[in-house]
Amino acid sequence: MSLTCSLYTNGQWHDADDGTTFTRSHPLNEAAASTASAASLADARRSVEAAAAAFPQWRDTSPGERRRLLLNAAEQMLLREARFIAPMAAETGATAHWSGFNVHLAADILREAAALTTQIEGQIVPSNVVGNLAMAVRQGAGVVLGMAPWNAPLILATRAIATPLACGNTVILKGAELSPASQGLIIEALAAAGFPDGVINYLTCAPADAPALVESLIAHPAVRRINFTGSTPVGRIIARTCGQHLKPAVLELGGKAPLLVLDDADPEQAAAGAIFGAFANAGQICMSTERIIVDHAIADEFVALISRRAASLPAGLIGPVVDMKTVTRCNALIDDALAKGARLLSGGKATSVQMAATLLDGVTRDMRIWSEESFGPVKAIIRVGGEEEALAVANESEYGLSSAVYSRDSARAWNVAQRLQTGICHINGPTVHDEAQMPFGGCKSSGYGRFGGRAGVAEFTELRWITMQMQPRELPF
């Protein structure tokens, strides 16, 4: 039975202004997975107006009350854990394990945001003016627009709004066209937690309407911060629009995460980290290991280990990819690599969204998979001669989100990590690793700005300079 999802504005669920809807199809059988309201420009405007009207009171709400509501929201998420499984499976093909992981990390994000409400700190800045008390004060900025994708729909949608709420902003979440019902359940949980009307608002729209609707939201004067998680091409459009309207943005975009296996690495640990990082959620994670860069000295042993692990991965564990477009793209990458001399170690081309874990050895620069993000379970193994070549190969990518280094020499690994051009690096751990309190984000074509912890507070507050003259000040005239 198809799921339904409405818009949420000013504390009320409602249909789109003109009553239109759009349908998301099930990735496995093309049946209707969900039917969601297709917001109009008028719906978007009302959403901003509701959030703007609620902002002054929410900004001035005590940190203790904001903390209480965010903790309530975390509990409401956990109470709905079983209810998230069906919509995530129907809309994105997610396994029950991936759905459960999403619920628990989303709850952690809300708890971390709750802890931040009393960590929004300013400072006293010494002034050269006698009797002048100068303060740097952080305050909520206004309405925050958050846009989250489908691949980790609960984690990324919750991240888009949790810290902004903690900082005293009101929020509009624009749900992904591929997971509207899954993300709508987040809003249901937050509404049940007791947030005041207008503080949280939810919009979904038909794919064809998204460009105009998003542009209208960014352009609205009341929207003061934007965050977007998604592809680099769309992120560039968001960045240009934000620049045109002078709106600060946090952008977490595409990745081509390298995992470096140095000649002194523990091959078993490196193989385990590579398999998890490459194939969790069928490789459809921004941090997914895309390039396995291994030193010639250890390559044969490592490749034998990782090949056995990949071949033994059950399809039900990694789950299906989201649609046949992904299959077509991944198949083309496989064809291109094999035609140019790569060797297929496991998996191969698919005829359905249930793709096998695929490893290609001997990948070279002339192959598309060297530089293109697969965003699926098709991964490249690149053999290199030494640490310097490994670094050069890792850093030549246009992307710079996550990375990993495996070595038994911690000082050596640290020095390599320091030189990697990525926002995130894990030593002797997989590229896929997220915690609510960490400064999460990338560089280069992977975007800019940071989610998480105090870094997130800096992104979603206005830093103001306020002075108080404590004694009469002599002025020149």
Q: What is the mean pLDDT of residues 384-397?
A: 98
Calculate ∠ Cα 331-401-384, nearest 5°: 65
Q: What are the distances in angstroms from CA 252 to CA 135, 238, 476?
A: 32, 11, 50
pLDDT digits (tens, 9 = 90+) for 329-379: 999 999 999 999 999 999 999 999 999 999 999 999 999 999 999 999 999
Residue 2 has pLDDT above 80, yes or no: no
* C-alpha radius of gyration, the chain, whole number: 24
Tell me which residue of 418, 370, 365 sits closest to 391, measured CA to CA: 418
Report residue 58's pLDDT band, with 50, 70 and 90 as the boundaries. Answer: very high
Q: What are the distances in angstroms from CA 141 to CA 9, 235, 300?
A: 20, 22, 54
Report residue 316's pLDDT band, with 50, 70 and 90 as the boundaries. Answer: confident
Instruction: Count how many residues are written for the chain.
Output: 477
Beta strand pairing call for 132-140 and 123-125 = antiparallel
Do the beta carbons of residue 7 and residue 37 sit within 8 Å?
yes
Residue 307 has pLDDT above 60, yes or no: yes
**Tokens, residue 460:** 């979603």
Q: What is the mean pLDDT of residues 105-115?
A: 97
**Tokens, residue 401:** 């989100």
**Tokens, residue 194:** 């007791």
- Mean of pLDDT over the chain: 97
Q: CB count, 10 Å around CB of 465?
A: 10
* Rounded CA separation 63/122 (Å): 15
Query: Residues with Cβ < 8 Å from 476, sequence gap 6 or more?
Result: none
Torsions phi, psi for 40 (to 5 deg): -95, 175
Query: Residue 449 region, left (φ>0) first, then alpha (ψ -120 to 50), else beta?
Result: left
Residue 154 has pLDDT above 60, yes or no: yes
Q: What is the mean pLDDT of residues 426-444?
A: 97
**Tokens, residue 330:** 């991944």
- Tell me which residues are annotated as active site: 252, 286
Beta strand pairing call for 289-295 and 257-261 = parallel
Fill in the amino acid letter for 471.
Answer: Q
Fill in the amino acid letter for 11.
Answer: G
**Tokens, residue 177:** 């066209």
Calculate ∠ Cα 399-112-427, nearest 5°: 40
Tell me which residue of 87, 114, 109 sits closest to 98, measured CA to CA: 87
Do the beta carbons of residue 223 and residue 174 sit within 8 Å?
no
Do the beta carbons of residue 121 and residue 149 sit within 8 Å?
no
Residue 421 has pLDDT above 90, yes or no: yes
What pLDDT score was predicted for residue 40?
98
Report residue 30's pLDDT band, with 50, 70 and 90 as the boundaries. Answer: confident
What sign for the dihedral angle of Cα 30, 36, 42, 48?
Answer: negative
pLDDT digits (tens, 9 = 90+) for 436-464: 999 999 999 999 999 999 999 999 999 99
Tell me which residue of 477, 476, 474, 463 sits closest to 134, measured CA to CA: 463
More confident residue, 314 or 371: 371
* Rounded CA separation 247/241 (Å): 8
SS (H, E, C) the chain: CCEEECEEECCEEECCCCCCEEEEECCCCCCEEEEEECCCHHHHHHHHHHHHHHHHHHHCCCHHHHHHHHHHHHHHHHHCHHHHHHHHHHHHCCCHHHHHHHHHHHHHHHHHHHHHCCCCCCEEECCCCCCEEEEEEEEECCEEEEECCCCCHHHHHHHHHHHHHHCCCEEEEECCCCCHHHHHHHHHHHHHHCCCCCCEEEECCCHHHHHHHHHHHHHCCCEEEEEEECCHHHHHHHHHHHHHCCCCEEEECCCCEEEEECCCCCHHHHHHHHHHHHHHHHHCCCCCEEEEEEEHHHHHHHHHHHHHHHHCCCHHHHCCCCCHHHHHHHHHHHHHHHHCCCEEEECCCCCCCCCCCEEEECCCCCCHHHCCCCCCCEEEEEEECCHHHHHHHHHCCCEECCCEEECCCHHHHHHHHHHCCCCCCEECCCCCCCCCCCCECCEECCEECCECHHHHHHHCEEEEEEEEECCCCCCCC
Percent of the chain with pLDDT over 90: 97
Residue 411 has pLDDT above 80, yes or no: yes
Residue 1 has pLDDT above 80, yes or no: no
**Tokens, residue 71:** 């903790």
* Rounded CA separation 120/63 (Å): 9
Report residue 315's pLDDT band, with 50, 70 and 90 as the boundaries. Answer: confident
More confident residue, 314 or 392: 392
What global pTM score does this model have? 0.96
